[in-house]
Structure 1
Amino acid sequence: MLSEKLKQIRKEMHLTQQEFADKLGISRGYYCDMERGRNKGTNVKVISKLSDVTGKPMEYFVDKDTELKQYDVLDSALDMLIDKGYVEDDGEINDNMAKNIIMEILKKELCLKIKSRE
Structure 2
Amino acid sequence: MLKDKIKELRKEMGLTQEEFASKLEISRSYYCDIERGRLKGTNVKIISKLSDVTGKPMEYFLDKDVEVKQYDILDSALNMLIEKGLINSDGEITDETSRNIVMEILKKEIQLKIKSRE
TM-score norm. by structure 2 comes to 0.75
**Matched residue, 2:30:** 30
CA distance, structure 1, for counterparts of residue 42 and residue 90 of structure 2: 31
Partner AA of 1:46 in structure 2: I
Taking the aligned partners of 1:80 and 1:66, their CA distance within structure 2 comes to 23
Deviation at 1:59, TM superposition (A): 0.3
**Matched residue pairs, number?**
118
CA-based RMSD: 2.6
- The runs of 5 or more residues in structure 2 that have no matched partner are none
Q: Stretches of 4+ moved more than 6 A in 1?
A: none
Percent of aligned positions that are identical:
74
> Alpha-carbon deviations, 1:76-103, whole Å to 9, x = none?
2222333444433222334444333321
Distance 1:116 1:30 in 2: 30
Separation (CA, whole Å) in 2 of partners of 1:117 and 1:28:
38
The residue that corresponds to 2:45 in the other structure is 45
Whole-angstrom distance in 1 between the partners of 2:16 and 2:70: 33
CA distance in 2, matches of 1:92, 1:54: 31
Distance 2:115 2:35 in 1: 22
- Residue range with higher mean Cα deviation, 1-10 or 39-48: 39-48
Cα separation, 2, equivalents of 1:42 and 1:85: 22
Contact 1:87/1:94, CA 8 A, preserved across alignment: yes
